[in-house]
Amino acid sequence: MTQPEFNDQGNEEKPLDPAVERVQKKLKRLLAGSSLVMLAGFIAVFAAIFYKINTSNRQVDAASIARTIAIGANATVESVDWVDGRMMVVIRENGTTALLQVEPSTGRVLGRTDFVAQ
């Protein structure tokens, strides 16, 4: 069985050609530049995630909400939720359920979706 040679005798590398050294330096600079761009991209993504987490749970000022919202005379409010700065109100009126999309500052109903059984 042959024994591998662990010493570095006779395995000396030849010096690189100057043109190859220039290419090697250029590649190192390219690697450093692309690494910085990648790092900047990660920072931007994490900053966007941090921004979204901190701004999504904004509390609405009571002064900016309309005092009254017009719903039917026989309607009862089942639930209220906030979606993208708009108030979503689920009401029950005359045995049917409807979803109202309301502008919170004016109290104006932007849309109504009635839920019907099929």
d(CA 71, CA 99): 11
Q: Report the distance separating Cα 88 and Cα 50, nearest Å.
A: 26
Indicate the number of domains in the chain: 2
Same domain membership, residue 71 and residue 51: no
pLDDT at 14: 83
Predicted confidence at residue 61, as pLDDT, reads 66
Residue 107 Rama label (left phi>0; alpha psi -120 to 50; beta): left
In a domain, 10, yes or no: no
The verdict on 51 and 95 lying in the same domain is: no
Q: Kindly state whether residue 44 falls inside one of the protein's structural domains.
A: yes
pLDDT digits 0-9 by tens, 32-77 = 999 999 999 999 999 999 988 877 555 666 666 777 888 888 889 9
Can you give the pLDDT at residue 49?
92
According to the model, what pLDDT value does residue 8 have? Answer: 58
Note whether 22 and 51 are same-domain residues: yes
Do residues 46 and 87 both lie within one domain?
no
The pLDDT value given to residue 42: 96
In this structure, are 44 and 67 located in the same domain? no
| Statement to judge: residues 44 and 24 lie in one domain | yes
| Pair 84, 66 in one domain | yes
- Does 5 map to a domain? no
Please indicate, yes or no, whether residues 46 and 82 belong to a single structural domain of this protein: no
Q: What pLDDT shows up at residue 40?
A: 97
- pTM of the predicted model as reported, rounded to 2 decimal places: 0.47
Within a domain: 83: yes
Q: Are 69 and 52 in contact (CB under 8 A)?
A: no
Q: How confident is the model at residue 92 (pLDDT cuts 50, 70, 90)?
A: very high
pLDDT, residue 5, reads: 63
Range of the structural domain that residue 71 is part of: 62-115
